[in-house]
Amino acid sequence: MELQALRYFVTVAEELHFGRAATRLHMSQPPLSRAVKRLEADVGAALFTRSPSGVALTPVGAVLLDEARALLDHADRLRARVSAAAGDRALTVGILGDAADPGTARLAVDFRRRHPGVDVRVRDTDLTDPTCGLHAGLVDVALTRAPFDETALAVRTLRTDPVGAVLRADDPLASRDRLTLADLADRRWFRFPQRTDPLWRSYWSGGREREGPVVRAVQECLQAVLWNGTVGLAPLGHDLPKGLTVVPVTDMEPSRAVAAWNEGDTDPLVRSFVEAAVSAYRRRGS
């Protein structure tokens, strides 16, 4: 029973869909299906029940999932400890102005437990580079939000969050329980510099060019609303300064919190960080 086959199995079990699992693993679906079938032959039992809409774990698959996660976690920690014994290890993590996210706090605890000897260096980045320096080679892995240019990057979704309009508390729209982009069409928005990733800029401007103050950091966004009465979009669930509120925007696609790293990077420390991030962000509210 190979570790790679177990990683494939865990990914399918988390996605409950071979197509989505193949996309997450950056591989085509046929070899993934063959690998799972070989694992089922090794185990001597079916691990999934299959249907046109996806798959479901069998009782045997549910048992294997718990054991496989524990085994892979141990293997990752073993690799990291062996690497650390060979010399000092450090991991540079880029965070896109979202360090207050409770998922990040849980991740820090989990990762320290897995890798107590690793020096984690955090690079807090502004909103003009959603890759947090990955394309420039400044970080090993990033905690950020999609969408952005994913060329030469691997991206793993950690959580999806609904999006709302950030408004001043005395704004006429602040008393509404929901809004649409059309409700905000004639308002000034905070916006990002032209050099910012076009996919990122388009998403956070509601799919069209806007007029308003140019911002580069989370605090600049909030202050633009507080002082100038502009509006902008933000994920729901984050604390806001006094005097500001957020109203859900119903026709916006949810915002994806993601981990991203350089495609082809086989460093087990990066892989362990991503797996810890998936676990930490999954435990919402814990």
* pLDDT score, position 163: 96
Residues of CATH 3.40.190.10 domain(s) within the chain?
A: 163-253
- CA–CA dist 242, 249 (Å, integer): 21
* pLDDT score, position 136: 79
Considering the domain 163-253 in this protein, what is its CATH number?
3.40.190.10
Q: Specify the CATH architecture of the domain 3-86.
A: Orthogonal Bundle (1.10)
Residues of CATH 1.10.10.10 domain(s) within the chain?
A: 3-86
Tell me the angle at which helices 59-85 and 268-282 cross, rounded to the nearest 10 degrees. 130
* pLDDT score, position 14: 85
Tokens 């999806």 locate to 160
- CA–CA dist 140, 137 (Å, integer): 7
Query: Does the pTM exceed 0.85?
Result: no
Q: What is the mean pLDDT of each run of 10 residues along the chain (286 residues)?
A: 85 86 78 90 92 86 89 74 63 79 86 88 87 87 93 93 95 96 93 90 92 88 90 87 94 95 87 91 64
* pLDDT score, position 145: 94
